[in-house]
Amino acid sequence: MKAPRDDTPVTFQTTQIGSHGRYVLDIDDIMTFPDIGHIPVLPHKPGESWFILTEIVSNISIGRPTFRVEDKLEGNYWVVAFYTDNPVEDARDCVPGSLICIKNRRPHRFLDGRYGFRIDDPSRVLVLPCTMARLKELNNSLRERSNAGLLLTCVVCNTPVRRGCERCETRYCSQECQRQDWPNHKRVCKVLKTLHE
């Protein structure tokens, strides 16, 4: 007998919990994704992480890559400037309408009086090809599917399925469903991968 292929539909209960069965990293969680009013006062402790989510509004570089960004709370603006060893390379994906996600940084007051984030360590920054509005939509839909016990089912037809997209864990019962969803999925795969992590 042939072993079942990974994309073979299977039937099993989807009520199990665990990192794969439930969506746990919710961007509405202000402890993990603080907005301007909720950034921790003290530097992070070992093992503690928070992420600043901002959308690039415009490129205001004069020499050094520098961006005007909007907070998760609309109407709050910051400056993000790259002071890394290879700033141009590290900021290559920074275009208006994309997100800059910064780990464990407290706001910095620049010499010209503006507030924002000074990026010294490129490993603390992730640029995602996605607007804040789109990220919020994806976040809400993941949370709804998780609350409904559907995180382990095909996103196209809700058939329970064991394995997901190799990168982001989005689940498909068949190549047909995966192909059908691809025009939407290709734009959000990287973002979803990050949300799941």
Residue 128 touches Zn ion, criterion: CB under 5 A? no
């996600």: which residue's tokens?
Answer: 101
User: Given the rule CB under 5 A, which of 25-33, 53-61, 129-137, 181-189 is the region that contacts Zn ion?
Assistant: 181-189
How many residues touch Zn ion (CB under 5 A)? 11
Per-position x/- string for 141-160, each x denoting binding to Zn ion as judged by CB under 5 A, each - no binding: -------------x-xx-x-
Residue 69 touches Zn ion, criterion: CB under 5 A? no
Q: How far is the CB of 39 from Zn ion (least distance, A)?
A: 31
Residue 79 touches Zn ion, criterion: CB under 5 A? no
Residue 189 touches Zn ion, criterion: CB under 5 A? yes
CB nearer Zn ion, residue 127 or residue 165: 165
Q: How far is the CB of 111 from Zn ion (least distance, A)?
A: 42
- Residue 74: how many CA atoms within 13 Å on its side-chain side? 4
Q: Which residues contact 60 (CB under 8 A, 6 or more apart)?
A: 66, 67, 68, 79
Q: How far is the CB of 8 from Zn ion (least distance, A)?
A: 12
Per-position x/- string for 25-44, each x denoting binding to Zn ion as judged by CB under 5 A, each - no binding: --------------------
Phi/psi of residue 189, nearest 5 degrees: -55, -50
3-state secondary structure of 69: strand
Q: How far is the CB of 38 from Zn ion (least distance, A)?
A: 30
* Element containing residue 176 per DSSP (H, E): helix 175-196
| 77-82: strand order across its sheet | 108-109, 115-119, 77-82, 66-71, 51-59, 99-103, 125-128
3-state secondary structure of 147: helix
- Interface with Zn ion by CB under 5 A: which residues? 154, 156-157, 159, 165, 167-168, 170, 173, 177, 189
